[in-house]
Amino acid sequence: MAKVMAVNAGSSSLKFKLYEMPEEKVICSGNAERIGHEDAIFGIKYNGENDKKVLPILDHARAVELLVEALIEKGIIKSMDEIIALGHRIVQGGKYFSHSELFNKDTEDKIESLIPLAPLHNKAHLVGFRAFKKILPNVTSVAVFDTAFHQSMEEQDYVFPIPYEYTVKYDCRRYGAHGTSHQYLAEKGAKYLPGIKHPRIISCHIGSGASITAIKDGKCVATSMGLTPLGGIMMGTRTGDLDPSVMNYLCKCTGKSVEEMYQIFNKQSGLLGVSEVSNDSRDIAAACEAKNPKALLADKLFIRRVCDYIGQYFVRLGGADLIIFSAGIGENSPEFRQKVIDEIAPALGVEIDRELNKGLRGKEALLSTPNSKIKVALIPTDEEVMLARDAYKAYLEEHK
Ligand code: AMP
């Protein structure tokens, strides 16, 4: 029996999911939160039970120790040797990685060199990796990059129209994000397109972070996020695309620094900024019911931005065979899906089954009617299983 763990380390958190491979059966999952604090939280879900305790977890290595202790205590594993591989999520792989890579000195150095492009994330991922290495030194460890799937973009899709010197000297270009999710969705979505020679998919990962990707023949040709996950469509708290002069103008108007304004664009904008209600689409929906004008505007703006990208990618792909809705909002908000479809329908001839869509939350289904010119599907995303798959594949390679 092969047990493989998917790991997502943040600056003060460590999420994990243990799989039985190759069956891809989830054995348990959990999270250490508030790492670095005396009152940190360690939680593990196993056999329908959700154990949570508050205790000091001063660093990531302690979180990994707690995790291993919990696995043994609950009888999930007898010894640590049963875990044969680890898949670590890495947000930024820069220009170096177009697929997952075994962890070694070179991989570590490259991830470290990319910290300026993803300061919070890449640093935390390395801390997480090193914590696991301390406790499980001989386990196959694989880095799975959020950006890797987008490395197939052509130059004219990833170069920004800035002085070319900056593109080269500072690696300042579009990298995209959510690549692991879009790849998973494209692979799952392929089953709705039997017999189509060159399938064209528009994948909409719409959660608190949101991105849209144009996929042809299973490869990314364009994606909405940019140098960082701030670009593209409007999000829960992020602006998405803006005229770059907004930064300069608002810094002058408010007296705030570029760094302060950058934080505002990341954390106080998007649905939250426009509605002044919340970054959560459920709260926005409730405020819209109550006819709050700013919530109504935020909602309309959000739908418009999503539809503009779908239209752009329809042209970019030379048509589309499938539109996929996924992630927190895409999976759980029938109203959001219907509004998007209603807005693009006159141009794209797409139609979904209103009744089927209404009741659907978090469950895979083909939503389009036979009349629709493009198929539309709801597919729940699963980034963790992709981490487990790549880690297991690397283990098999290493041991053949
Ligand atoms: P994610 O980042 O993919 O986990 O998505 C989180 C977001 O999904 C939340 O901030 C909400 O805006 C949205 N969301 C989650 N559940 C629902 C729901 N039942 N209805 C509408 N939106 C939801």
Q: Is the CB of 280 under 6 A from ligand 1?
A: yes
pLDDT tens, 189-203?
A: 999 999 999 999 999
Q: Are residues 240 and 366 in the same domain?
A: yes
* pTM for this entry: 0.95
Instruction: Say how many Å lie between the first and final Cα of the chain, rounded.
Output: 16
d(CA 366, CA 375) in angstroms, rounded, equals 7
pLDDT mean across residues, the chain: 96
Q: Are residues 131 and 265 in the same domain?
A: no
Q: Are residues 6 and 101 in the same domain?
A: yes
Candidate of 182, 281, 303, 363 to mutate for ligand 1, largest count of ligand atoms within 8 Å of Cβ: 281
Q: Are residues 376 and 244 in the same domain?
A: yes
Q: Are residues 218 and 346 in the same domain?
A: yes
Residue pair 204/330 in contact (Cβ under 8 Å)? The answer is: yes
Q: Is the CB of 236 under 6 A from ligand 1?
A: yes
Q: Are residues 243 and 364 in the same domain?
A: yes
Is 45 a member of any domain? yes
The atom number, within ligand 1, closest to the CA of 335 reads 21
Q: Are residues 263 and 141 in the same domain?
A: no
Residue 192: the pLDDT is: 98
Domains: count for the chain: 2
Provide the pLDDT confidence category of residue 119 given band limits of 50, 70 and 90.
Answer: confident
Is 215 a member of any domain? yes
Candidate of 329, 333, 337, 357 to mutate for ligand 1, largest count of ligand atoms within 8 Å of Cβ: 329
Residue 378 β-bridge partners: 325, 365
- The predicted model gives 124-132 an average pLDDT of 92
pLDDT tens, 7-46?
A: 999 888 999 999 999 999 999 999 999 999 999 999 999 9
Q: Are residues 266 and 121 in the same domain?
A: no
Give the CATH number for residue 130.
Answer: 3.30.420.40
pLDDT tens, 56-115?
A: 999 999 999 999 999 999 999 998 889 999 999 999 999 999 999 999 999 999 999 999
Residue pair 102/140 in contact (Cβ under 8 Å)? The answer is: yes
Q: Is the CB of 210 under 6 A from ligand 1?
A: no
Give residue 259 CA to ligand 1 midpoint distance, Å: 28
Residue 369: the pLDDT is: 98
pLDDT tens, 277-317?
A: 999 999 999 999 999 999 999 999 999 999 999 999 999 99
Residue 334: the pLDDT is: 98
Is 395 a member of any domain? no
d(CA 140, CA 167) in angstroms, rounded, equals 35
Residue pair 121/153 in contact (Cβ under 8 Å)? The answer is: no
Range of the domain at 323: 194-383
Provide the pLDDT confidence category of residue 400 given band limits of 50, 70 and 90.
Answer: confident
pLDDT tens, 338-350?
A: 999 999 999 999 9
Read off φ and ψ for residue 200, nearest 5 degrees.
-115, 120
